[in-house]
Structure 1
Amino acid sequence: MIARRLVASLALFLAGCANMGNDGRGYPSLARRPIEGGAPVPQTAAPAPVVPTSVPSGTVADWQTQVPVLLRQAETGRAAFDSAYDGVAAQVRAATGAAISSETWVTANVGLGRLASERNGAVSALATLDTLYADRAKAIADGQLPIIGPGDPLADARSAALAIVDSENDRLDALRAMLKQP
């Protein structure tokens, strides 16, 4: 009895594979295509080389010019976060103890999302500073740059951006902890 059902199911399955597709067209042929038959392939021109428009990435001059810009970006991100924080904190306090999916709970979570997006400036600056720091460390390890002692502007900027991002993360986590979680 089971074998008969299995054979019938297998036959129906194989019959479905042999028919046309849902769109009414047959399945593609397994025959050799012209490109596979050894026909000559047309040659395309090589892409034009990319000409740098600024200081090449990874040079000391590049790091020195980017560090103050990235530090300002982190500070701007902190200012945007700080200006949005009080309003979102008030929304979260109003939603503390509110039922999940209630209007106040949803409003508070939307506010938290907006607040999290305000940290993008600082997070982006930190990521770029981390990349510059790692690139420079590799260049130092490869002997391409001398070892930099205390008072390193790149390390100081990276530490400052990291402190900003850590502070924002802590404040955001504290607000999230005040709301019920689904």
Structure 2
Amino acid sequence: MSPAQVVLASHNAHKLQELRRLMEPLIPGIELIGYDGPEPVESGVTFAENALIKARAAAAHTGLPAIADDSGISVEVLGGCPGIFSARWGGPARSDTANVDLLLWQLSDLADEHRSAAFVCAAALALPSGEEAVQIGNWPGSVLRAPAGAGGFGYDPVFRPEGETRSAAELTPAEKDAASHRTRAFSALVPEILSRVTGAD
């Protein structure tokens, strides 16, 4: 009997690698497959709305259950920004370097106690039948004054998780997987995936 298939609704190679590493041990009997369909316009105003938009589009395009996430960094003193605009914070180039450089410049005059931030992830499941579920994960920490570490991607080099002395980019993949916002959101979504895709309780 072939395993049930679930589409990973993302074209981001880094994110796909991280999601496969995270999810495959948690959902035995389910095969995670890539998505090569069109990317929808992320017109939502929350992480949850944008994650659902992506999951719905992939489910409609493939006829299979789909999971997606929308994530970013939320800085307290910036009122939660960059937030849903994290990937394009630095302008049209949408580069990690430009995004990080602008954020560091915006916070450059602030004392360490005012640099609180959190990585936020909304993990969404959408089925062709119209069934949906979404879960939110938060990873609290602060913004460093300069990038540190060569691992991870996005804002990882300037994000120091709460209780850590290292940046997220200095953590091993296993250390990051044990604590990250994406782990927290998708772990909470696992029961929904197992129940709705395989019928398991």
TM-score of the aligned structures, taking structure 1 as reference length: 0.24
Q: Which has the higher contact order (CA 8 A, sep 6+)?
A: 1
Greater Cα radius of gyration, structure 1 or 2: 1
TM-score by length of 2: 0.22
